[in-house]
Structure 1
Amino acid sequence: MFHRIRHRAKGPSEVERQLAELVAQHEQKLPWIGAPTDPPQSAEAAPVVDDFLPPGLRVPSHDQVEGRMMPWKQPLVIGGEMAACSQCGAYRDWLILSTRGEIWLRCRAGHQQQETRLDTVWFNRNSGPADATHATFEDCLRHLGH
């Protein structure tokens, strides 16, 4: 067994030599395997085409929106505690707002409170894709039924 291993280590086998010869022959025939060829020279420049999405299909970037919000119908449990409105005691049917790196909770009665135990990472992980954009905060509240 050791004799066969030492024998293989001495040099390439006959099959490996034949393969190397075939590769060398094909390198001369196929330009993408051999030396790189010069790119074709065009007499005129390619026309500039706006291939970006039409304005109706574009989504505003994060720096173009003031904030994002999502509905949260069920009770919101944070760190083992159920979040409740500090003014009316409501504990479900929230609007969760993410703006300027802060998270705010808004109850059905319109009371808002900052929730420091949540962050934008939590919001991004739990929110779905935006289904609409609105020019004003009130338009967004109407859209979400508040």
Structure 2
Amino acid sequence: MFHRIRRRAAQPSEMQRQHYEAFARLEGRVPPEVERMRAEMQSAEPTTVVDDFLPPELRVPSHDQLDGRVMPWAQPIVLDGEIVACTGCGAYRDWVIISTRDQVWLRCRQGHQQHEARLDTAWYNRHSRPADATHATFEDCLRHIGH
């Protein structure tokens, strides 16, 4: 019984044969709408190529073009249940958080800087807002954010 089914399946059915014939008849034909569209495209005037990228004064530098990013942080930073304090003066609020070379640094009002290993670039990215300016020097950046 299974041999009969296999023999029948080896030859194309009548419906498959009709589909093959219909496909062969249509193979070289192109719908008239396509021919009309091709003619319109060839007769149309060439369009001018316009650079749609932002002008240089509106472009924002990418992260690999910057030496680092800085943001102010007025409230205390609590990590692992303890408030982070400056190792130099003991200040625990009004920080400047610096993200550079995949490290996060904290800077107090007195200018003491300390590396904070418990914070990473992902934390910085989650808590920072979009940059509103770029600066040539670190001191210019500090002046811009009021430190």
Q: As a proportion of its length, which structure holds more helix? A: 2
CA RMSD, 1 decimal: 2.1
Q: 1:47 Cα shift? A: 2.5
Structure 1 residues 49 and 120 mapped into 2: Cα distance closer, same or farther (>3 Å)?
Answer: same
Q: What is the letter of the counterpart of residue 37 of structure 1?
A: V
Residue 79 of structure 1 is matched in structure 2 by: 80
TM-score by length of structure 1 reads 0.70
Structure 1 residues 46 and 86 mapped into 2: Cα distance closer, same or farther (>3 Å)?
Answer: same
Q: 1:45 Cα shift? A: 5.3
Identity between Structure 1 and Structure 2 (%)? 67
Q: Is residue 42 from structure 1 mapped to residue 39 from structure 2 by the alignment?
A: no
Which structure is larger by alpha-carbon Rg, 1 or 2?
A: 2
Unaligned runs of at least 5 residues, structure 1: 1-33
TM-score by length of structure 2 reads 0.70
Residue 13 of structure 1 is matched in structure 2 by: none
Alpha-carbon distance in 2 for matches of 1:59, 1:37: 44
Residue 108 of structure 1 is matched in structure 2 by: 109
Q: Is residue 91 from structure 1 mapped to residue 88 from structure 2 by the alignment?
A: no
Alpha-carbon distance in 1 for matches of 2:61, 2:102: 17
Number of residue pairs matched by the alignment: 113
Q: What is the letter of the counterpart of residue 71 of structure 2?
A: M
Alpha-carbon distance in 1 for matches of 2:42, 2:140: 53
Written as runs of structure 1 = structure 2, the 5 A alignment for 1:10-49 is: 37=34, 40=38, 41-42=41-42, 46-49=47-50
